[in-house]
Amino acid sequence: MRFADFPFLRYLPFVLLGIFWAQSPFSFNFLSLAIILSLLWGAYLIFVSLLATRKSTHQPSYLGYLALIALGALLVANKQKQSARQTDFSNSVSYLAEVTMYDQQKPNSFENLLEVKSVFQEGKWTDAEGKILVYHQNKKPLEPGQILLVNKLPETIASPRNPNEFDYKEYLSRQEITYRQFLGKDFQVVDSVSKSGPKYFLVHLRQNIAEMLKSKIPDDKSAQIALALLLGQKKELDPTIREAYTQAGVMHILAVSGLHVGIIYALFILILKPLKMKKEKSRLYLLFVILIIWLYAFLTGLSPSVVRAATMFSLLTLGQMRERRPSIYNILAFSAILMITFNPDVIYEVGFQLSYLAVFGIVMIQPLILNCWLPRSKALEYIWQLISVSLAAQLVTFPLSIYYFHIFPTYFLLGNMLILPLAFVIMQVGVPLMIFGWVPLVGDVLGWALSWLIWFQNYIAELIRLIPGGKLDRLTMDFSGMILVWGILLIATFWEFGSKRTLTWMALSLAFLWTGVQLYSVVNVPSKELIVYQGKKSHMFDFSVFNELYSFNQGLEEGEISYSVDRNRIQQHVSQLPKTLYAIQKDSIQLAFLKTNVTLHPQENQLHFTSPPTSMYYWSDGKWVNMELRHSLPLDSLAYRILF
């Protein structure tokens, strides 16, 4: 295997480099990048034409790579330019906005997404752009296409207040959502777009299919799984079912992904073989398969893994029509570049990262695992292939899963062996139900069969959940650890046909690099540290003394601790249940924490230090910011880190 044989795989790193460069302080604006790209591309074409006429022997490849870097940066600059066009609501009185989705049930309200069309500013209505995540309590549900008049302003989404807290603001901003608002019942429906129009055709179709599935599947829990597995609608999942599938290591089957697209592809391709069509008819049928794949991709919301799979299978099908078999590496890289072109921020989505890692793992690692054993029977060979695929995907994706989710499912092999084949059967029944569910009797029979199949799948997942030690949680892995694991896997992949001397030096270099990073982090652990976490109405204090953690809760609820505090504790390798930080009341207005030089003045809402700290920081924009030393600290809306 030569790297030069995979052009798109060579191009992809340079496009990614351009994206990272554009988000640094050293990038240029949109116009400058467009000029640079045009000059580089023009120079490249000139050298290529001269090379073709043999008037030059200069190889212009480096100009092409520079142009790819400029292209990646230009994509980000264009996205930033579009985001800058969003309306500032600070001077607005009212706004008109269009409903873009059906309501999502929340504990005390309904969630929806509005697309702003016009705002009332300075006594007149002006065109506007922007998306607002809203919550309402109207008895009548909102529907896509309705126009709402809202007479109060939305609020900007706040940044995380605590270290390592989930950045909800950044998550929404990548979907171009910068505002949210609780409407209650304070709005008016003033107009509506026709339901028969093309704009919301797929949204209405998805909702109609979802309602049909609920009516045809008698068991409620089975209906929840059907909506998740067939349409990617996971918000209605029961927490117990979600936990069962997580511990079984098969949560990915409930998020519409490449697996589901592959099953649909296999379903229609298997139909082609018995029909024995002539070449022209088979080509038309394959075009129909591509159309079905992309219809399903749009119907399920165009998640990164679905788009990746739809692009891959489309290219494979086109290759089959031309009686060629394109390289899987080229297909993967091309699909990634295509997705990045439409949305450069997609590279930060966990689904995108896990999807491509899993496929690369299956393509590169699975043959190595498969060759470790050659079963003599076809049944054992099928089981071994399923095991090898699961192992390969898990080996490559587990570092990223631990990095984001801090959980590893112990029985993932058992779950994949038992549930994945069943999911394949469920899809074979579920897809015809989506198509023929409106046919009397046919829909009822398919719905009943699907309900029992999913009930059995849920039963297996629940049995696996009840096995002791079903998951390892509170695991951590930093970026250097991920690089070490992926580096070792790549070295193992190329060991047979690469230079063993070079690969050995690469392995040693990775090991020394990882060891150095770990030693640096250990040496820089402070002997005494106080972290003040900010809750909605109160605070929590974590006092660390030589890796022993003592905690005092001033009123944070369990959900707040899980969301705002525990993520940072996991990153710091801290126990889930730290020791209690005891305090005594020295007088009527202060509490003195034992074993510390810190006192709390609840009435003043301040911390006082009997001896000055060595350094103090506050949390802002995803990092600790140094602040001047002081003998007291006001407990305001910020999180603090104090070193002694």
pLDDT tens column, 434-472: 888 888 888 999 999 999 999 999 999 989 888 888 888
Query: Over 80: is that where the pLDDT of 369 sits?
Result: yes
pLDDT tens string 501-521? 899 999 999 999 999 998 988
Distance of CA 54 to the CA centre of its chain: 49
Separation CA 381–CA 118 (nearest Å)? 62
Residue predicted with more confidence, 586 or 440:
440
pTM of the model: 0.86
Quick one: 276 and 382 in the same domain? yes
Quick one: 243 and 108 in the same domain? no
Separation CA 308–CA 464 (nearest Å)? 31
Over residues 49-54, the mean pLDDT reads: 70
Range of the domain at 19: 3-84
Nearest Cα residue to 105 out of 198, 287, 233, 282: 233
**Contact 397/358 with Cβ under 8 angstroms?**
yes
Query: Over 90: is that where the pLDDT of 325 sits?
Result: no
Quick one: 452 and 537 in the same domain? no
Of 15-19, 140-144, 328-332, 531-535, the range with the lowest mean pLDDT is 328-332
Quick one: 452 and 565 in the same domain? no
Boundary residue ending a domain (176, 193, 210): 193
The pLDDT, as a whole number, for residue 383 is 87
Quick one: 141 and 35 in the same domain? no
Here the tokens at position 575 are 């126990």
Quick one: 71 and 134 in the same domain? no
Separation CA 98–CA 147 (nearest Å)? 5
For the chain, what is the domain count? 5
Quick one: 294 and 428 in the same domain? yes
158: CATH? 2.40.50
Quick one: 351 and 422 in the same domain? yes
* Torsion angle in degrees (nearest 10) through CA of 346, 349, 353, 355: -90
Quick one: 371 and 515 in the same domain? no
Sign of CA dihedral 377, 383, 389, 393: negative
**Contact 619/163 with Cβ under 8 angstroms?**
yes
Boundary residue ending a domain (84, 100, 124): 84
- The 10 Å Cβ neighbour count of residue 160 is 21
564 CB contacts (<8 Å, ≥6 apart)?
161, 162, 165, 533, 534, 535, 556
Boundary residue ending a domain (84, 111, 146): 84
Quick one: 633 and 542 in the same domain? yes
Separation CA 67–CA 492 (nearest Å)? 33
Quick one: 278 and 313 in the same domain? yes
Over residues 183-212, the mean pLDDT reads: 82
Quick one: 75 and 171 in the same domain? no
